[in-house]
Structure 1
Amino acid sequence: MKIEARLFEVLTVFFFGASIIYGISSGLSSKNVEWVGVTGMVMTGGLTLIIGTYFRFVARRVDIRPEDYEEAEVEDGAGELGFFSPGSWWPIAMAASAALIGVAMATTNFWLVAVGAVAIIATVGGLVMEYHVGPEKH
């Protein structure tokens, strides 16, 4: 996880630096600073800072992975990575619910946003509980 943390920390520095340069250059080229771009880049830097900080905290708690040391071979990462459901339809339903919210927001149908939010909650619950209920339960 140290590599991922370092990647997002570098991105954080880049976005904050780019927002400063963008603010200065847009202020010099026109009458005033173009604040939408500066705000967007600062917020992007903040998001990468949050993700990088999370990865840094997680890196302290997990064992060293093959990706974290230089002398690792490809076969060091072999083995089971986790359980992934091969035939789950819930991700498609979640994507459809998210698309419904997007279309509802684009067309300013706020009642449909509420329907989409309920659909998102239901589909996420279905995905999480997929192997805890029904005939697949052990």
Structure 2
Amino acid sequence: MKMEAWIFGSTTIFLVLVSPAYWFITDAGESGADWTGTSALAMTTLLCAMCTLYLGFHATRMDARPEDLPDAEMADGAGELGFFPPYSWWPLWCALCLSTIVLALALTAWWLVVIGFALGAIAVCGWVFEYYRGVHAH
């Protein structure tokens, strides 16, 4: 985790230097200039800073992983790596419901928005409770 924190920290430092430079180069201070790039760089800087703080905070409170140790052996990383969920059709239905809602908003078909939210609630519930029933029940 310490290495990941350093990677995000160096990216944050880079973005802190690049964001004002981009603002000055593109004359974003002028009226009618493009604020999109400056805003995107500022939000990216804040996102990288948030990841740096999170990873740095947890790196100090957890035991070192085998890949973080300079004298680690291959056998130190053996064993179960974690839980990986099997295939699922629920993300497809959630995406279809969201695309229906967005299309309905673009067409101003409010009745289709209601249908999209209703089907979306069913799809989200199916996705959340996927491991409580069926083949993959715990």
TM-score, with structure 2 as normaliser:
0.70
Aligned to 2:92: 92
Aligned to 2:8: 8
The one-letter code of the counterpart of 1:48 is C
The one-letter code of the counterpart of 2:69 is Y
Show structure 1 runs of 5+ residues with no match: none
The one-letter code of the counterpart of 2:84 is F
Aligned residues: 135
Aligned to 1:129: 129
1:8·1:52 contact (CA, 8 Å) conserved in 2? yes
The one-letter code of the counterpart of 2:6 is R
Query: Is the alpha carbon distance of 1:71 and 1:131 closer, same or farther for their aligned partners in structure 2, counting shifts above 3 Å?
Result: same
Bigger Cα displacement from structure 2, 68-77 vs 82-91: 68-77
Deviations 1:109-133 (A, max 9, x none): 4845665566555444433322223
Aligned to 1:26: 26
Show structure 2 runs of 5+ residues with no match: none
How far is the alpha carbon of 1:101 from its aligned partner?
5.1
TM-score, with structure 1 as normaliser:
0.70
CA–CA distance in 2 between the matches of 1:117 and 1:52?
36
Deviations 1:61-93 (A, max 9, x none): 332112322333444323211122223222333
1:23·1:34 contact (CA, 8 Å) conserved in 2? no
1:26·1:34 contact (CA, 8 Å) conserved in 2? yes
2:23·2:29 contact (CA, 8 Å) conserved in 1? no
Aligned to 1:42: 42
Give aligned-pair identity as a percent: 39
CA–CA distance in 2 between the matches of 1:16 and 1:110?
43
3-state SS, counterpart of residue 137 of structure 2: coil
Bigger Cα displacement from structure 2, 17-26 vs 70-79: 70-79
CA–CA distance in 2 between the matches of 1:109 and 1:86?
38
The one-letter code of the counterpart of 1:10 is S
Bigger Cα displacement from structure 2, 35-44 vs 115-124: 115-124
Cα RMSD for the two superposed structures: 3.2
CA–CA distance in 2 between the matches of 1:127 and 1:35?
38
The one-letter code of the counterpart of 1:89 is W
